[in-house]
């Protein structure tokens, strides 16, 4: 680290640009994989959340269970979900996009319901 103001400080930068330039292919590959996994999770989340939001808007009977279930799925932390699946021998089978898929479920379903409810009142 760069310790400014300290007598006898050794200059050790926080970012080593030489390492970054030497490993640009690894960084780019990891970035592309991250974007791919994020897009998969968001698209699957949208495909599930939009119909759930429409059902919640149209049917008062399903509104509570839909928002309760999506709220529970949203609150499951990633590490707890991994640990739970590992207990049953399924941790190695779970794709990386599986848990982040739960994040948009609650917000999109609830947001779509609220937008449609506001539009009809």
Q: Per-domain residue ranges for the chain?
A: 24-120
Element of type H or E holding 109: helix 102-120
According to DSSP, residue 15 is labeled S
Q: Quote the pLDDT of residue 84.
A: 60
Q: Low-confidence residues of the chain, pLDDT below 70? A: 1-12, 76-106, 120-121
d(CA 77, CA 99): 8
Residue-level pLDDT at 1: 46
């Amino acid at each position: 680290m760069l310790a400014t103001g300290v007598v006898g400080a050794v200059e050790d930068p926080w970012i080593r640009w030489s390492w970054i330039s030497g490993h640009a292919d690894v960084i780019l590959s990891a970035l592309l994989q991250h974007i791919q996994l994020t897009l998969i999770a968001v698209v699957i989340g949208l495909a599930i959340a939009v119909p759930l939001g429409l059902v919640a808007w149209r049917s008062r009977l399903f509104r509570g269970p839909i928002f309760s279930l999506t709220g529970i799925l949203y609150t499951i932390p990633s590490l707890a979900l991994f640990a739970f699946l590992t207990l049953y021998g399924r941790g190695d089978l779970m794709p990386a996009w599986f848990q982040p898929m739960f994040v948009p479920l609650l917000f999109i379903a609830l947001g779509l319901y609220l937008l449609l409810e506001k539009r009809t009142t």
